[in-house]
Amino acid sequence: MSQLSSSHSVGTLFVVSAPSGAGKTSLVRALLDAEPTMGVVVSHTTRAMRPEEVNGVNYHFTDTETFNQLADRGGFIEWANVFGNLYGTSVDAANHVLNDGKNLILEIDWQGAEQVREKFPETQSIFIFPPSLTALRERLEGRGQDDADTVQKRMDAAFEELSHWHEFDFLIINDQFEEALIELTSVVKGQGDALRKAMRENELQPLVSELLLQDYQ
């Protein structure tokens, strides 16, 4: 149960990572609405359910003991502790999507992406950049979901997430949403060679330097 049954998998596994607030959830949601061949796994989490969320739709909400039992049995492709809450991707659910002939896209942080790549080197990984950390802070504050301390924790975590950008296969900047969606769609359709890290490293180096060196406190 510790890994996907690759022998019957006909879909491609994609992982999408980004700092919180960079827009990966909105991009993936729009992609799934437009591309019926894509599948997604509803993650397990121990965090509290928000008023607008539905159990089994947004997440499978569970307690820490149950989550840890699943993890100990190898029930997750990947799992991570994010801001004190546990998040994990079910092996069985992922198998169901891939064996159904659909490509699978996972929204996970860099730690989860690392776990998936270790088990499945053929995984295609995508990193979403914000146009700046100033824009990222504005997006987080604009949500109205978190207090100032939580926003700052997310900004601190953003710096850590951004420092792992070079581990990903494809790089996208979410400055203009529609343009970023077109680029994400091209990657999952196998038409995103221009967005590969090797093609964009030099172009993105000034942005990366700004994101990692600026004072974002």
Average pLDDT over the chain, rounded to an integer: 86
Residues 162-182 pLDDT 10s: 889 999 999 999 999 999 999
Q: SS in 3 state form for the chain?
A: CCCCCHHHCCCCEEEEECCCCCCHHHHHHHHHHHCCCEEECCCEECCCCCCCCCECCCEEECCHHHHHHHHHCCCEEEEEEECCEEEEEEHHHHHHHHHCCCEEEEECCHHHHHHHHHHCCCCEEEEEECCCHHHHHHHHHHHCCCCHHHHHHHHHHHHHHHCCHHHCCEEEECCCHHHHHHHHHHHHCCCCHHHEHHHHHHHHHHHHHHHHHCCCC
Rounded to an integer, the average pLDDT of 47-69 is: 95
Give the pLDDT score at 217. Answer: 45
Give the pLDDT score at 1. Answer: 43
Rounded to an integer, the average pLDDT of 11-32 is: 91
Between 109 and 6, residue with greater pLDDT: 109
Write down the pTM of the prediction.
0.79
Between 100 and 2, residue with greater pLDDT: 100
> So where are the chain's domains?
6-213
- Tell me what percent of the residues of the chain surpass a pLDDT of 70: 91
**CATH top-level class of 6-213:** alpha beta
